[in-house]
Amino acid sequence: MCTALTPTKVGSLAADLAALLDHDGYLLLRGAVPEAWRDLLHAAFEAGVVGDEQWAAPKAPGWRHALVDLNPTVRETCRLPPLLSVAGHMLEGPFFLAQVEGREPLPDGGHQPLHRDGAGLRAVSAMVFLDDYGPANGATRVVPRPLDQGDPDETLSQTLAGEAGDILVFDADLLHGATRNVSGARRRSLLLNFLPERDRAAEDAYRAVRNVRMDNGEVFAP
């Protein structure tokens, strides 16, 4: 994959938000996705839903998955300035969008054990919520960094709630996990991650396994 010659500059994160992010290990960007984009993102998700057999690596049961990384509105969502500012603050150097896909917990499905997307790795994960979310429809729970004792402890987790258009950005080493969709209400989201530019070669080796089809050559620089 050809890397962009001139990095795209990323704005700095406001001091109060940076302090909150550094303390908790995550930041919830309320209403970050323009309202005019939301129907387009819903359509992109629905058009991209494919069965488990169309993914190179097995997918967890209890979820609906969507291939969305070629959709232009999805790509622009991944480039929203507030999102890039958070990623830039966390990674502190050139980085790139490694992957984006759609996920939705099925009715009575979606529960995940508390886990880390990348234990000990320098990486940023983000979830773009396409529907309102809360404890009833499979919202994400997190263990804020000050409460993290190392081993997963459900008593320390906090379940998030909010509206379509919110974006959760978090350190890939943060303990988190989805809850069970007990109500059966829609809870579509985009899951994406940013990695340091120095890790590009290693990540590109797994493009096929991750069903990454997009050109991810753009480099972002804080």
CATH of the domain at 148: 2.60.120.620
Residue-range definition of the domain harbouring residue 162: 33-210
Q: What is the mean pLDDT of the chain?
A: 95
20 domain residue, yes or no: no
Measured between alpha carbons, how far is residue 199 from residues 165, 178, 215 in Å? 29, 27, 16
pLDDT at 52: 86
Of 171, 148, 154, residue with least CA distance to 87: 171
27 domain residue, yes or no: no
Number of structural domains the chain divides into: 1
10 domain residue, yes or no: no
* Percentages (nearest 5) of helix, strand, coil residues in the chain: 25, 25, 50
17 domain residue, yes or no: no
* 18-34 mean pLDDT: 98
Q: Is the pLDDT of residue 102 over 90?
A: yes
SS3 124: strand
Q: Give the model confidence (pLDDT) of 152-208 as tens digits.
A: 999 999 999 999 999 999 999 999 999 999 999 999 999 999 999 999 999 999 899
Residue 91 CB neighbours (<10 A): 21
Q: Give the model confidence (pLDDT) of 45-88 as tens digits.
A: 999 999 988 898 889 899 999 999 999 999 999 999 999 999 99
pLDDT at 121: 87
Q: Cα(158)–Cα(144) distance, rounded to whole angstroms? A: 8
Residue 25 CB neighbours (<10 A): 22
Relative orientation angle of helices 81-91 and 15-24, to the nearest 10 degrees: 60
pLDDT at 69: 98
Phi and psi at residue 201, in whole multiples of 5°? Answer: -60, -45
193 domain residue, yes or no: yes
Q: Cα(132)–Cα(186) distance, rounded to whole angstroms? A: 8
Phi and psi at residue 101, in whole multiples of 5°? Answer: -145, 165
81 domain residue, yes or no: yes
Please classify residue 183 by burial: count the beta carbons closer than 10 Å to its beta carbon, then call 0-12 exposed, 13-18 middle and 19+ buried.
middle
12 domain residue, yes or no: no
Measured between alpha carbons, how far is residue 197 from residues 29, 182, 200, 211 in Å? 24, 40, 5, 20
pLDDT over 90 for what percent of the chain? 91
Name the more confident of 25 and 61: 25
pLDDT at 4: 52
68 domain residue, yes or no: yes
pLDDT at 1: 47
Q: Is the pLDDT of residue 2 over 50?
A: no
pLDDT at 60: 87
